[in-house]
Amino acid sequence: MNSNDLIEHAKSLIHKQSHKKTIIDGVKIISLKTHVTEDGSFTELLRSNDINHGFAPLFDFTIAQINRSLMLPKTIKAWHLHFYQDELWSVSDETRLLLGLWDVRTSSPTQDITMRIPLSSDMIVYIPRGVAHGAANHMTRNAEILYIVNNKYNADDPDEYRMSWDAKGSDFWELRKE
C-alpha cells in the first residue's frame, strides 16, 4: 500500500511523521537511570566530585550553585538567557514540562534553531550560555525545576537577560498533537 491507495481528500492531509530533531549545538540531553525498588525508586542525578565521569560531555562544568524553581499550573516562563552561565535542568518525578530552547548565538552552526523538549525526571538537559530557554507548565499542578549552574547569581550584576515569552510566537508553547 502507498499514498496512491488513499482517497484524494486524505492524500492532501497526510505527512510523514519524523521523530528526528535537530539538536542545538552544545545542548546535551543526558538520560538518567532509575532503579525501581519494591518501595519506590532511586535515581542518581550527579556526583559533585565526579561530574565528568557521569556527564562526559561537560568537561568544563563546575557546580557553583544549585537552585529550585516552582512554576504554577498553566504558566509559561520564557525567554531568558545568560552570557556567562551554563545550566543543567532536571524535574521531579511528578513534573512534566515543555522545555523550549532557542539558539540566539551568531557564531553557532545552529543559529536561530529552536528545540522543544518534553522534560521529565528521566533526563537532565545541559543548556549552554547564549541559548535562550524557558518552559511551559501544561499540568494542573505546580511544577518543580531543579537547575544547577556553573556561575553564582550576583544580585548587583545579574547575568539574566529576558525576551518576551512570545518572541518565537505564542503557538511555540502550545502542545502539539501528532
Model confidence over 69-89: pLDDT tens digits? 999 999 999 999 999 999 999
Residue 156 in domain:
yes
Question: What pLDDT does 48 receive?
Answer: 59
Which amino acid is residue 62, in one-letter code?
A: T
Residue 85 in domain:
yes
Question: What pLDDT does 178 receive?
Answer: 66
Residue 2 in domain:
no
Residue 2 has pLDDT above 80, yes or no: no
Residue 167 has pLDDT above 60, yes or no: yes
- What is the CATH classification number for the domain harbouring 139? 2.60.120.10
C-alpha cell at 136: 511551559
pTM exceeds 0.85 for this model = no
Residue 155's domain spans which residues?
Answer: 21-164
> How would DSSP label each residue in 6-26?
S-HHHHTT--------PPPTT
Question: What pLDDT does 33 receive?
Answer: 83
Residue 6 in domain:
no
Question: What pLDDT does 53 receive?
Answer: 46
Residue 7 in domain:
no
Strand 143-149 with 65-71, pairing: antiparallel
Looking at the 3D structure of the chain, how many domains does it have?
A: 1
Mean pLDDT of the chain: 87
What values do phi and psi take at 107, rounded to 5? -90, 5
Residue 44 has pLDDT above 60, yes or no: yes
CB atoms within 10 A of CB 67: 11
Looking at per-residue confidence, does 177 or 19 come out higher? 177
Residue 66 has pLDDT above 60, yes or no: yes
Residue 16 in domain:
no
Residue listed under C-alpha cell 556526583: 47
